[in-house]
Copies of this chain bind each other. A is one copy, B any other.
Amino acid sequence: MRAEAELLCTGSELVSSKVNLYSPLFAARLRELGVALRGERSLRDDLPLITRSIREAMASCPLVITCGGLGPTFDDLTRRAAARALGLRLRSSPECAAELRRRYALDKLPPNMADQAVILEGARAISNRNGTAFGQVVRRGRRMLALLPGPLREWEPMFGDGLAEEIVSFFGLKPGTVLSARLKAAGLKEVQAERLLRPVLRAFPGADFTILAGADEIEFGFTVSGRTPALAIRKLAAVKKAARRTLGAAVYSETGEGRHQALGRLLRAGGKTLALAESCTGGLASKLMTDEAGSSDLFLGGTVAYSNASKTRLLGVPQALLERHGAVSAGCAAAMARGARRAFGSDYAGSVTGVAGPGGGTPEKPVGTVFFGICGPRGVGTHKAFFRGTRDHIRLSSANRLFDLLGKIIE
């Protein structure tokens, strides 16, 4: 039996106006256990549809996981659908009821909460650290069905609280025999990375690879399996070594961190501080630098100098320079970086000014033209780049490139 799973997410919002963020999260959790996610369904709150989907998925896939629809309200249908699909009854679990009474210090459960203790007959309940809906795992012959609540903070801890164990024992997986890793590489496009990595893919035919395009970066993920944990570790190291050799200095992380995080790590290690001056990115680079809590140790602040007047007033960019070369120029980028370093009193400062589009391009400076200034104790340098894509993509690529440039001068 191949260790494969299908995911069923319920909720009408998922097929009307909300993006389903869960596939990659479940895929990652399952991959760690050695299980491949082969498909995902998003289903509106529709009892016959959910019932049929569980039945279909279980007819061909050994492990089916549902997510959502376990609450006590009218549109929470998954338990009923699972009971119909498997021909099982729903029954109130005395253990679950006792756990809820204990947790909420109640002598008697109100009806809504009593309903949460109703589970499939024969199912094992999994406690919910952050909600009242129990997870449930039930085996039927050579199949396993797991029902999980919808919120991430409710289902994710369940992997550690018994679900992972159930899955590993169901498939008879040997812990440590399936291993994954990833490399992030800066400044590469997806097609370039595919071309570069083709020999690596050929050299390891049993491994599983993904190349994901980001903004001015790619992520190369790979999963290997070995008969023993030692063999798996050795194979993983071999793939990683080959990929690193191929991608060279472009590799900036083995942990999946973003480039703002890699830069934060470098700054923290050296006890250095940073300030930013942004034009076309409009605050995005500062926003990224402050995504992590505790960034105030290393990030002093930034100036979003969107108008020309603010470049002069706040960053001291000479008006004559703006008139002669325009705001999108190496000279302006250099002056902005110097101005930010001075204004904030930081060790390092970076600046970005460009044409994010969709309008505003000229033949000399088409949409996607971006200049960077990088300023540190040894002076200021500039860099020019050109990015293709939407306004969002150009802005994020610009911020990422700026972080990369800054990382290279930090000592």
Chain A residues at the B interface, C-beta cutoff of 8 Å: 7, 12-21, 23-24, 27-28, 31, 36-44, 46, 49, 52-53, 56, 60, 210, 212, 219, 221, 275-276, 278, 281-291, 293-296, 299-307, 309-310, 313-314, 343-345, 356-360, 391-392
Q: How many copies of this chain sit in the oligomeric assembly?
A: 2
Q: What are the residues of chain B within 8 A of A37 when measuring CB–CB?
A: 15-16, 44
Contacting pair B289 A282 (CB below 8 A): yes
- Give chain A's interface secondary structure class: mixed
Contacting pair A313 B210 (CB below 8 A): no
**What's the Cα separation between A39 and B266 when bound, in Å?**
45
Q: Determine which of B21, B282, B295, B307 lies in contact with A19 in the assembled complex, contact meaning CB atoms within 8 Å.
A: B21
With both chains docked as a complex, state the minimum distance between the C-beta of A136 and any C-beta of chain B, in angstroms: 22
Closest to A10 in B: B39
**What's the Cα separation between A17 and B357 when bound, in Å?**
29
Q: Determine which of B49, B295, B391 lies in contact with A38 in the assembled complex, contact meaning CB atoms within 8 Å.
A: B49
With both chains docked as a complex, state the minimum distance between the C-beta of A65 and any C-beta of chain B, in angstroms: 12
Contacting pair B28 A14 (CB below 8 A): no
Contacting pair B43 A15 (CB below 8 A): no
Q: What are the residues of chain B within 8 A of A14 when measuring CB–CB?
A: 23, 40
**What's the Cα separation between A40 and B11 when bound, in Å?**
11
Contacting pair A19 B16 (CB below 8 A): no
Among A15, A24, A210, A309, the most chain B Cβ lie within 10 Å of the Cβ of: A15
Q: What are the residues of chain B within 8 A of A17 when measuring CB–CB?
A: 24, 27-28, 210, 212, 219, 221
Q: What are the residues of chain B within 8 A of A295 when measuring CB–CB?
A: 282, 306
Q: Determine which of B28, B56, B281 lies in contact with A56 in the assembled complex, contact meaning CB atoms within 8 Å.
A: B56
Q: Determine which of B38, B42, B285, B296 lies in contact with A15 in the assembled complex, contact meaning CB atoms within 8 Å.
A: B38
Contacting pair B56 A40 (CB below 8 A): no
**What's the Cα separation between A124 and B90 when bound, in Å?**
48
**What's the Cα separation between A158 and B22 when bound, in Å?**
29
